[in-house]
Structure 1
Amino acid sequence: MQDPIYARIQSNPRFQELVGKRERFAWLLSAVMLGLYLAFILLIAFEPQVLGTRISPDSTTTWGIPIGVGLILAAFVLTGIYVYRANGEFDELNAAILDEVKK
């Protein structure tokens, strides 16, 4: 049996707004990350010599290392962006919804 408060939350228009915003934002960040991974895979497939090129003539490090590390860091940055927005805007909407429903 479902608690009536859950039904009130689900029928609240602000809850629908929250769900929509959160889903769109998550899909946007997912698409950005997918695009970065796709670009990396396409680089490996069609221009692998770029990743094997040394950063400078006397360096032992190739461009593959900073590009790979950048891809990993991009995942952390996008996660941080989501957490920042979730702890700000999404939590505020959530609190407002709960205040409305409890009345």
Structure 2
Amino acid sequence: MDERQVEQILQNPKFKEMVARKSRLSWTLTIIMLVVYVGFMLLVGYNKEFLMSSVSGGVTTIGMPLGLSIIVLSFVLCGVYSYIANNTLDSLNEEAMREVEAITHEKGLH
């Protein structure tokens, strides 16, 4: 693949759309996870009493289900990314790849 073909691929509208959508999705999910995690860490640092209070008067504190929910959230966000990538972005990826293959075969036609 020569420089001209690489440039054609990079300028391809479907390729650009695919990259933009994947980037937007990745950054959105990353920001959600960071906000939740940093929020929890701030809560740990500045309001330990709240986290140490009991859920129902027993041994389990509020901090335990909150911490567990952060772990579960990370799995859920991975699932969301996989679902969107498999159902939306893969079709866009296939269209971009067809156009890329046409560009790479174009050299053989000339």
SS at match of 2:61: coil
Residue 99, structure 1, aligned to residue 98, structure 2: yes
Work out the CA distance in 2 between the residues paired with 1:24 and 1:75: 18
Spell out, residue by residue over 1:52-92, the C-alpha distance to the aligned partner (whole angstroms, 9 max, x if none). Answer: 111112x1111111000000001111111001111111110
Root-mean-square deviation (CA, aligned residues, Å) is 1.6
Residues 1-103 of structure 1 correspond to what in structure 2 (within 5 A)? Answer: 3-4=1-2, 7=6, 8-57=8-57, 59-103=58-102
Q: TM-score, normalised by structure 2?
A: 0.83
Q: Assess if the C-alpha contact under 8 Å between 1:37 and 1:71 holds in 2.
A: yes
Work out the CA distance in 1 between the residues paired with 2:85 and 2:35: 23
Higher Cα Rg, which structure: 2
Work out the CA distance in 1 between the residues paired with 2:31 and 2:101: 37
Work out the CA distance in 2 between the residues paired with 1:10 and 1:54: 56
User: How many residues in Structure 1 have an aligned counterpart in Structure 2?
Assistant: 100
Moved over 6 A (4+): none
Q: Which runs of 5+ in 1 are unaligned?
A: none
Work out the CA distance in 1 between the residues paired with 2:5 and 2:61: 55
Work out the CA distance in 2 between the residues paired with 1:101 and 1:40: 45
Spell out, residue by residue over 1:18-41, the C-alpha distance to the aligned partner (whole angstroms, 9 max, x if none). Answer: 101111110111000000011101
Work out the CA distance in 2 between the residues paired with 1:21 and 1:102: 21
- Correspondence for 2:108: none
For the structure 1 residues 45 and 67, does the alpha-carbon distance in structure 2 shift closer, same or farther, using more than 3 Å as the test?
Answer: same
Q: Assess if the C-alpha contact under 8 Å between 1:9 and 1:98 holds in 2.
A: no
